[in-house]
Amino acid sequence: MKCSDSPLIEYHYICLMKYLVTITLVILSNFSFAQLEEGYFQYSISVEPIDTTLEAKQKAGMLRNSKMEIYFAKNMARIDFSMGTMYKTSTVINQDSSLSLSIMESKMGKFASVKPLDEMNLSKPIIDSNVIITNFDEERKILGYNCRKITIEKDESTTMYWITDEIKLDNIVANVVHPNIPGFPMYFSKIEDGVELIFQISNLEKLIKDKSSVFSIVPPADCQTF
């Protein structure tokens, strides 16, 4: 399905979150953390209306209390999105079994799908030579990690990041949101259609206690499968 203009408020953000899920899983399926064999990251997602239109306020209201969670271990990755009152998604990839599990829960119900990894069209991200990276002489700590500020501009769109060099990846261009980022993003924000979405690391753990459950590719019993 192609993302486009729609009178449904949810539609644009479902497309946006699907894009973020896809990008994150592409990266997690191709790269591992150099100093961490497994781990867990949680991003809290804040949504603030930039303009005073009713549509912007409605969007922000529906997406409050959102979060993104990323789990990774050898040959396995999982990303969970909880998008306010709209919907929840989970996607698991398991390279050992060459399978993926996708779960989506909304007012329409709870659905799950198991597919071969080769049907997900995962590909290694590449550096985009058309982006402009600006470094700022600003620093702050997030969860105890030293971070520096950058912005990335492309096609008249700007995203601001706080990145750290203290969480290393095997490949310096492999990051959660964009392969051009020269570090690991602890915070990033972007304005879309009158609202600002702010992602900030709120929890980080270096051990996953129950990997068999977290990375299971068996659909939950309460899901409809397709």
**Collapsing DSSP states into helix, strand and coil, what is residue 1?**
coil
CA distance 67 to 164: 20
Question: Mind listing the pLDDT tens digit for each residue in 69-107?
Answer: 988 887 888 889 888 777 888 989 888 888 989 899 988
Do 114 and 103 meet the contact criterion of CB atoms below 8 Å apart?
no
**Collapsing DSSP states into helix, strand and coil, what is residue 28?**
helix
Question: Mind listing the pLDDT tens digit for each residue in 199-219?
Answer: 899 998 888 888 999 999 999
| Nearest in space to 188 (alpha carbons), one of 140, 152, 156, 155 | 152
- pLDDT band of residue 65 (cuts 50, 70, 90) is confident
Residues 6+ apart with CB under 8 A from 143: 186, 201, 202, 203, 204
Instruction: Using DSSP bridges, classify how beta strands 184-192 and 87-94 pair: parallel, antiparallel or unpaired.
Output: unpaired
Q: Which residue has the higher pLDDT, 198 or 29?
A: 198
DSSP class of residue 165 equals: S
129 dihedral zone (left: phi>0; alpha: psi -120 to 50; beta): alpha
CA distance 171 to 25: 15
Whether the per-residue pLDDT at 177 is higher than 60: the answer is no
Residue 120: CB atoms within 10 Å: 17
Whether the per-residue pLDDT at 4 is higher than 50: the answer is no
- String of b and e for 81-93 (b: at least 16 CB within 10 Å)? bbbbebbbbbbbb
CA distance 127 to 14: 26
pLDDT of residue 87: 83
Task: Please report, as a single letter, which amino acid is at residue 3.
Answer: C
CA distance 44 to 219: 26
Do 116 and 127 meet the contact criterion of CB atoms below 8 Å apart?
no
Do 111 and 57 meet the contact criterion of CB atoms below 8 Å apart?
no
Instruction: Give the global pTM.
Output: 0.76
Q: Which residue has the higher pLDDT, 61 or 204?
A: 204
Give me the mean pLDDT over the 152-167 stretch. 87
Q: Which residue has the higher pLDDT, 71 or 31?
A: 71
